Amino acid sequence: MRRFLEIFKPAPFAPEIGDATVVAKDYRSWRFRILYSMFFGYALFYFTRKSLSLAMPGLTLDLGFSKAELGFLGSILAITYGFSKFFSGILSDRSSPRYFMAFGLMITGVINIIFGMSSSLIVFSLLWGLNGWFQGFGWPACSRMLVQWYSKSERGSWWSTWNVCHNVGAFSIAIVAGYCVQNFGWRSGMYIPGLICILGGFLLINRLRDCPQAVGLPAIDKYRNDEDTSSSKSTTSSQQSTWETLTQSVFNNKYLWLLGIAYFFVYFARTAMNDWTPLYLIETRGYSIIGANTTATFFEAGGFLGNLCAGWASDRLFGAKRGPVNVLFSLGVVFSLILFSMVPVGSSLGESICLAMVGFCIFGPQMLIGVAAVEVAEKHAIATSSGFVCCISYLGAACAGYPLGLIIQELGWSGHFTTMIGASVLAVLFLLPLWGIKERPVTAQA
């Protein structure tokens, strides 16, 4: 057991390379390698997270599960996934992100395969809860590597480039699992994504490295002459216990609380758009099932562009300040939701454009709040801080399910839009105090 746990120890630092030419060449090579490996790896997490959605019709036909029972499985994953992001963040700060991420991906693959072999709701619930837990191993590991390999002045652009893996993964699983389910049954839609993720885990072990120092390169801030004071001023990081890290470096950081609460409302609106838009289009605008789902993809398409533009703008236009872009994009969410609710029935072009606008705006803060969280955190608590705000965000995602469903049931779709717009306004209000914050001062406390 001890030898097994040794794998998860952070990699030791290698002797630093002295030749500046070699350092520059190796940095270019490693940074590209780390980016595409994280991109590919995190996109694969969607293969074992969204596989159930495509298997649902088969579960209903073959096993007779009701929509409530299937919805229960989705709720279990959301809850365990949200809490896992927090607790796995604590573990990730004390582990090798390379092995931590790969291990989580492989275990989710195994769980999907076992799920495909099962037929009991109780077993499904247990497995899908475990899947949600190990899904949480991906984000904290990526957060750490994005901080270790890319400096503050450029991080927004690099992070946004990586972040579109969300959209790529969600799109790709629909093709892969959809083909499997259609041609070979719902169980194959669990087997094939699971096998792909197990193989992907081994690829991550081969491709990823914990930090530049592990391969003999200088720290990123030293290499770029871009001292990241927001994450380097801690003097007691290596001496802090887990509880001290939580109380002193996370719970006592007022910026993380503001970001976390704003994230709650951003994820509420994002999840509401993802989950309820097709039904809204069918019930109020006369769309077919295929037409509604096709039109809803404009939300993801807009999000792809919004991710890239938000990161670029924060680096190039606002000098690596994330606050202004978060506020402006969140205001864009408010106005684009108002426009979407006012589009005349029958205007499919207007609906598609508005959906793309909402996606463009909402995926900006969805990505940049995560960047801001690691930049106002202390260096020894990067993954813990990221996991903390992400845990709060998934509470918002959970509220976009059953609670929002009750609002729609009692108040209709007008209540749906009013609630989403109100949540977006609250996100703006909690992000406003962070407009000028570029890093966390050492003395900042709640």
Instruction: Give me the tens of pLDDT residue by residue for the chain, a chain 446 residues long.
Output: 456 557 788 888 999 998 999 999 999 999 999 999 999 999 999 899 878 777 776 777 788 877 567 667 777 887 888 888 888 877 877 789 999 999 999 999 999 999 999 988 899 999 999 999 999 899 888 988 988 998 877 877 888 889 888 878 877 877 787 788 778 888 998 999 999 999 999 999 999 999 999 999 999 888 888 755 444 444 444 455 667 767 777 888 889 999 999 999 999 998 888 778 877 888 888 887 667 767 877 888 898 889 889 888 888 888 888 889 999 999 999 999 999 999 888 888 999 999 999 999 999 998 889 888 888 877 777 777 878 888 888 888 878 877 887 888 888 889 999 999 999 999 999 999 988 776 655 444 43
C-alpha 197, offset from chain centre: 18
The pair of structure tokens assigned to 102 is 């790969």
* The amino acid at 162: W
- How confident is the model at residue 325, as a pLDDT? 93
The pairs formed by 179-184 with CB atoms below 8 angstroms and a separation of 24 or more are: 181/54, 181/55, 181/57, 181/58
Instruction: Please state, in angstroms and rounded to a whole number, the distance separating the CA atoms of residues 147 and 373.
Output: 11
- How confident is the model at residue 157, as a pLDDT? 81
Nearest to 82 by CA among 364, 386, 326: 386
Is the pTM higher than 0.85? The answer reads no
- How confident is the model at residue 360, as a pLDDT? 94
- How confident is the model at residue 440, as a pLDDT? 58
Nearest to 270 by CA among 298, 303, 295: 303
Instruction: Please state, in angstroms and rounded to a whole number, the distance separating the CA atoms of residues 304 and 168.
Output: 9
Task: Count CB neighbours of 377 within 10 A.
Answer: 30
- How confident is the model at residue 2, as a pLDDT? 57
**Residues with Cβ within 8 Å of residue 360, at least 6 apart in sequence:** 302, 303, 305, 306, 309, 332, 336
Complete domains list, the chain, with CATH:
8-225 (1.20.1250.20), 249-434 (1.20.1250.20)
- How confident is the model at residue 232, as a pLDDT? 42
- How confident is the model at residue 143, as a pLDDT? 84
The answer to whether the beta carbons of residues 335 and 309 sit under 8 Å apart is: no
- How confident is the model at residue 237, as a pLDDT? 45
